[in-house]
Amino acid sequence: MAALGRQVLRGQRLVPLSWACVARRTPHPPERGRTKQTTASHGGSLEEAFRVGPRNSVQQPGCRTNPVQGLPEKQSTPVDSGSLEPEKVISSLLDMGFSDAHVKDLLSTLPGANLQQLLDIISELILLGLNPEPVCVVLKKSPQLLKLPVVQMKKRSNYLRKLGLGEGKLRRMLHGCPEVFTMRQQDIDDTVKLLKEKCLFTAQQVTEILHRCPSVLQENPSELEYKFQYAYFRMGVKHLDIVRTDFLQYSVNKIKQRHSYLERLGRYQTPDKKGQTQITNPLLKDILRVSESEFLAKTACSSAEEFEVFKKLLAREEEEQEEEEEPESSTSEDKEEQL
């Protein structure tokens, strides 16, 4: 779909798939004989225009349209955001597949938005494979997307496609991390580089991780690396299982608490070099994907009181360990300064 959209945009006589382009190409009707609008005009609001009914203003006098798509046959000069009429914005959103409820939702949560910018950003999200419902969710969760230059949006979209995150895969990623379009490019590059070079995931596995666990993009790289090392060396979890179980989406605190508790209960054992254990370890999904009550009842076979006591003891042990490591690090720094 995205490829077709780009092909269409290159040809002026083909039917465009980008409705932002439709809005820009829609010429103004001649002033002569134009009836006075009693609702939303240049100075009106989108909410007022929607209450009147946007479909009444789709066909304007003096603008010949294609009977199938309702598109102008001749291209006119683009209209700027200040002169774009609210009725045309609503009409374009409806034509893109947004329901009346979607449009009302967008208007109520994004008041005062730049109309042309709104159509351009929504068009890019549609071309990436998102449906109207996910688009509304993303814009409500991250309204700062509407402040992005369209050029930057297109550039980031192309980058995500190169990572293999085009079409449907982007829906889950944007729902979990809509900031992927607004965060620094260097931060994304650093995360991808860490997963490939330090954690040794394949390019396909990195794509799956970003798709399934988009929150890794917002994590501190050192903490993300530590989480991988804990899974690989302490728990004996292989790369493929880390990807399949969405392991990296869970916090280090939750992972360590549940794994250490099972280990001390004798219900989890780190595999040896051959990947073998003397007991059968529980599945990762039964350790991390379930609620705490289900984890205690079915996996740990323990009480909530015992687990609470253990978590306090574990926190105290970690604090003591950090206190012991601090003097050692300061001593080594003093020796380096003396040298």
pLDDT score, position 217: 94
CA distance 54 to 100: 10
CA distance 286 to 279: 16
Say whether 164 sits in a helix, a strand or coil: coil
pLDDT score, position 147: 86
Quote the distance between the C-alpha of residue 16 and its chain's center. Answer: 27
Residue 108 has what DSSP assignment?
Answer: H
Contacts of 227 (CB under 8 A, 6+ apart): 219, 247, 248, 252, 255
Contacts of 276 (CB under 8 A, 6+ apart): none
Residues of the chain with pLDDT under 50: 1-45, 47, 50, 52-82
> For 59-75, how does the pLDDT look when each residue is reduced to its tens digit (9 = 90+)?
444 443 433 333 343 33
pLDDT score, position 77: 36
Contact 61, 27 (CB under 8 A): no
Cα torsion for 22, 23, 24, 27, to the nearest 10°? Answer: 100
pLDDT score, position 17: 41
